[in-house]
Structure 1
Amino acid sequence: MNVLRKILFPFAILYGFITSIRNFLFDRGILKSTSFEIPVIAVGNLSVGGTGKTPQIEYLIRLLSNKYKVATLSRGYKRKSEGFVLADGTSNAEILGDEPFQFYQKFPKIQVAVDANRTNGITQLLSQTEKPQIVLLDDAYQHRKVKAGFYILLTSYGDLYADDFMLPTGNLRESRSGANRANIIVVTKSPKDLSDQKQEEIRLKLNLNCSQQIYFTFIDYDDAIYNKEEKIVVNEIKTEGKVLLAGIAKPKPFFDYLKNENDECLTYPDHHHFSDSDLNEIHNKANGKKIITTEKDYVRLKDSKLVSQLYYLPIKSTFINQHQNFDATVLEYVKKNSES
């Protein structure tokens, strides 16, 4: 914890008090939460920063979309549009935001919508002629104006909420007790070889209640990079000089997976909108070499001047064990709460 964050400790206490009062009012029904007749699954976290929400949403899409009509609803962070937007053939990352646009491109059979007002967003989705049977709420754990039927809370292995503190001293958006709302807690970005003993230690540290389940996942990188026309096996480009580019919250694992000593790593803020000046700088530094970026950044850059040398590396969330139990729990909730 740096000196400035220590100085701001009194503000963290105040912020924690305010969020606790807000949660108390929602818990007691003094502030209104809206429920819906279809299954609504909220995925989010207690902290700011990357915990792997996008690959977790994509896991749920793959799990559910072959059996049900699925819609995702996101805020659409840093998009240039306003209000409710349902993705269609005219949509791009500027209209939807990078992550929703990624969902739209990868999963053409689902509905993808954005709206900062999640209650209005779900209402609008259910007013469509082809209304969804399930809504997945992206990054909506603190959006308590909607009462989701099922909550999945993510926490990073290297930054557990049990070890964190309230903003601005720490990174928590609300107190650790907010974890009690979760049906499932997923410890993301874990080591692939995490032992049963270490899993049990973390389970005890997080102090789950008797009704909660815990699972451990790791980020599984693809063995190839892609662009609009080409696929190249990662091992074939590991040793060649290239530019690695990331505008995500925690890019180190991405860099570590691909880089060698001759590579240049360019880091930008999460959800960064690349300006002409940025593009020129990247183009000049690449000097004809391959530029490899994250899938989320690629959707913002694929129509830029970098396209001829631009590739992306897909990732997915993989369970260390017991993924069948996770799948069964989610499917049981959906089946029980689906309209007949």
Structure 2
Amino acid sequence: MNSFVTLLLLPLSWLYAGVMAMRNWLYDTGLKASSSFQAPLIVVGNLRVGGTGKTPHVAWVVRELQQLGEQPVILSRGYGRQTQGYRRVTEKETAATVGDEPLQHWQDFAGAVPVAVAEDRRLGIRHLLAETTATSVVLDDAYQHRRVRPTLGILLTEHKRPFYEDWVLPAGRLRESRGGARRADVIIVTKCPAELPAAEQAEIRQRIGCYSRPGAPVLFSSYTYGAPVAVGAAAAPASLAGVLLTGIAQPGPLREYLTQAGYALAHHAAFADHHAFTEAEIRAVVAQLPPGGSIFTTQKDAMRLREPALQAALAGVPVFFIPIEVRLLGDGAHQLRQFLMSSFQPHAVV
């Protein structure tokens, strides 16, 4: 968005920010109810619309909780699903019924970690705590869901698109004003270069500190990419030639990684975040494949490719997703682990 359009939209942004500020004030003062639960609630979210890396960071948190001997469950709204209400994720569900990210969480942990979706997080938490032996609930993308009171709030902001350089919708991409960062217990700057200079880290911490609560640590994370994982019967790519298919908010880092790793991408079919692929679109992607090539995609997109109609369009076509894992820079993993450990104290139900 160019600067002239941004200036034109700023009055609308101020209006929207004012509405959100009033809403937050009502919750902060207790005039609107916010519930807590006996089990710790760990919220992973952001201020910005679009991808900041919530899904792999949720997976990191869940694995750490397992290492601590806890029994975590994951609750999401289930963005993009065609259903409503509370729903548990099972092997029978699809991206259309529960959303691509919850389905990815369920697959990541091979069904060993209960995953559910619900627009009303309070309802979802009550169901999960009644149906499982959960000792903690990890809420994916619930930073603005003030009807529940988190035990630990983890705010993500992208290295290339930090919230302190953005504006509230519609002039920018923020869901609320920059001051919303004050609710976070921990802030993680995501998708950083693996060797982010200390001087740049210090500058980012200083700029975030203008909006965050005093003493809230600012951590940094980067992505590590794994070997291609087959979606279907193929064992391994015949070559590194093929096309890239994405329906995520920020495909740039993946495309850059594949290019640097030697993948020969003949085409990048880039769609909007959570895009529901059609059979015609998939057939058009297949038509772009070079001889002996494969379709490379993200794990989240692979969840949506499981739809029967799309599977028919992909019959005989090798498809692979590129797995992503989060690595916290410096002593970030230790710091975040300490915060997780401190969350397990008695909490009264309200």
The interval holding the TM-score normalised by the smaller chain is: over 0.9
Alpha-carbon distance in structure 2 between the residues aligned to 1:224 and 1:276: 23
Which residue of structure 2 lines up, in the alignment, with residue 113 of structure 1?
116
Q: Structure 1, residues 143-201: CA drift from partner, whole Å, max 9, x if none?
A: 00111111000000111111111111111111111111100000001111111121111
| Aligned counterparts, 1:207-222, within 5 A | 207=209, 208-222=212-226
1:154 aligns to 2:156 (yes or no): yes
Which residue of structure 2 lines up, in the alignment, with residue 268 of structure 1?
271
- TM-score for both structures, normalised by structure 2: 0.90
Aligned length: 333
- For the 8 Å contact 2:266–2:290, the answer to whether it is kept is no
Deviation at 1:76, TM superposition (A): 0.4
Alpha-carbon distance in structure 2 between the residues aligned to 1:190 and 1:80: 34
| Aligned counterparts, 1:183-262, within 5 A | 183-207=185-209, 208-230=212-234, 232=236, 237-238=239-240, 240=241, 242-259=242-259
- For the 8 Å contact 1:98–1:299, the answer to whether it is kept is yes
Partner SS for 2:62: helix
- For the 8 Å contact 1:184–1:212, the answer to whether it is kept is yes
Which residue of structure 1 lines up, in the alignment, with residue 168 of structure 2?
166
Which residue of structure 2 lines up, in the alignment, with residue 48 of structure 1?
49
- For the 8 Å contact 1:302–1:310, the answer to whether it is kept is no
Deviation at 1:230, TM superposition (A): 4.8
Which residue of structure 1 lines up, in the alignment, with residue 319 of structure 2?
310
Alpha-carbon distance in structure 2 between the residues aligned to 1:41 and 1:89: 25
Distance change in 2, residues 1:332/1:9 (3 Å): same
Deviation at 1:49, TM superposition (A): 1.1
Deviation at 1:51, TM superposition (A): 0.4
Gaps of 5+ in 2: none
Which residue of structure 2 lines up, in the alignment, with residue 145 of structure 1?
147
Partner amino acid, structure 1, of 2:288: K
- Calculate the aligned-residue CA RMSD, in Å: 1.9
- For the 8 Å contact 1:224–1:231, the answer to whether it is kept is no
Distance change in 2, residues 1:141/1:201 (3 Å): same
Of the structure 1 ranges 223-232 and 55-64, higher mean CA displacement relative to structure 2 is found in 223-232
Gaps of 5+ in 1: none
Which residue of structure 1 lines up, in the alignment, with residue 38 of structure 2?
37
Alpha-carbon distance in structure 2 between the residues aligned to 1:51 and 1:97: 18
Identity %: 35
| Aligned counterparts, 1:80-119, within 5 A | 80-107=82-109, 108-119=111-122
- TM-score for both structures, normalised by structure 1: 0.93
Partner SS for 2:35: coil
